[in-house]
Amino acid sequence: MRILAVDDEPLFLEVLEIALRDLGFNDVTPIYSAKEALRELEFGKKSFDCILLDIRMPGMSGVELCEKIRAVPGHKRTPIMMVTSLTDREYIDGAFGAGASDYLTKPLDSLELKARMSMIERLITEQARNTLLDQLASGEESDDEDDDMELLEFAFDEAVPVAGLDRLIELHAMENYLSRLTTKESYNTSVFAVAIDNAAEFYEKANRYDFMNMLHDVGVTLETVLKRPEALICYAGRGVFAVASTGTNDPDLAKITTQIEMRLGAYSQIYLRDNLPAPAITLGPVMRKTLFTCPRNSDVLRAAIAAAEQPSPILLLPENAKSA
């Protein structure tokens, strides 16, 4: 893995390089400013598989740099992990909003660094899958169709990352995000899940390329409807998306269902043409941290996902399914 590490503190970069080397990552390029990092990405001869950024840097913050990197050709999907001592929610939300894949807090913990880098490796594999999906969508022919099909294969319950969306993050990143919230922030966070009720049927009838496209359609719809920048979304596998939103008031699920219904209807003819079932969506109830039912932040996410997979009165069907 070719890693670009950006931090204005040379001593920390040295520590980070040593820690990464201990984990088997030996190809690390240290950069000491945001502007220098952009020059390296735009004009350097070396390509990078992942980028590690400090948030608080002089001249240009890591969040600003992350946003600019996403505009650099070839780096729209490169995994970017923020490595920072800043744990306030506004910084973390800003990082994810700018396109960060995950974040790690200072001081470094070797076990946590290992876990986060394992996730980065998984995202890199997923990037290859999404590149292949783009090639298939554009009609490009492959030199090795058997390898391509193997790359596209994944289990129904796998939490495959859905790429190309601004606020849709990886499941482990969502778990990391929720676990880092302070007590006050956690009580100010609501989580609900959106289940694709016929996802298993779709998985059996469609190839993996069409299944990923269906997930992307639903992800785009959720991101469009949930316009608030502080709302983060992840795909949890089994046709279930989870949403974490900031605010003392619960999200208006009735209003959200109406908006999702309208936007999903735009895809109905595509599924009809391909003889595939249009996704039928169930919104689960809003979950919040409580002292008794969800004492830990991670419990809220699991409870929301489980609740959405159960029968719920908030059922959403595409327009063509309703008329049928």
Domains, the chain, ordered by start: 2-122 (3.40.50.2300), 154-323 (3.30.70.270)
Give the percent of the chain with pLDDT over 90.
Answer: 39
- pLDDT tier for residue 151 given thresholds of 50, 70 and 90: low
Q: What is the pLDDT of residue 32?
A: 95
Q: What is the pLDDT of residue 319?
A: 47
Rounded to 5 degrees, φ, ψ at 45 are: -85, -15
Measured CA to CA, the distance from residue 223 to residue 113 in angstroms comes to 29
Q: Is pLDDT above 80 for 20? A: yes
Highest mean pLDDT among 69-78, 212-221, 295-304: 212-221
Measured CA to CA, the distance from residue 59 to residue 126 in angstroms comes to 33
What's the whole-model pTM score? Answer: 0.77
Q: Is pLDDT above 70 for 100? A: yes
Would the CA dihedral through 72, 137, 220, 49 be positive or negative? negative
Q: Is pLDDT above 50 for 322? A: no
Average pLDDT over residues 240-255: 89
Measured CA to CA, the distance from residue 46 to residue 29 in angstroms comes to 10
Measured CA to CA, the distance from residue 78 to residue 175 in angstroms comes to 20
Bigger pLDDT: 112 or 228?
Answer: 112
Bigger pLDDT: 7 or 183?
Answer: 7
Residues in the chain: 324
Would the CA dihedral through 249, 253, 255, 256 be positive or negative? positive
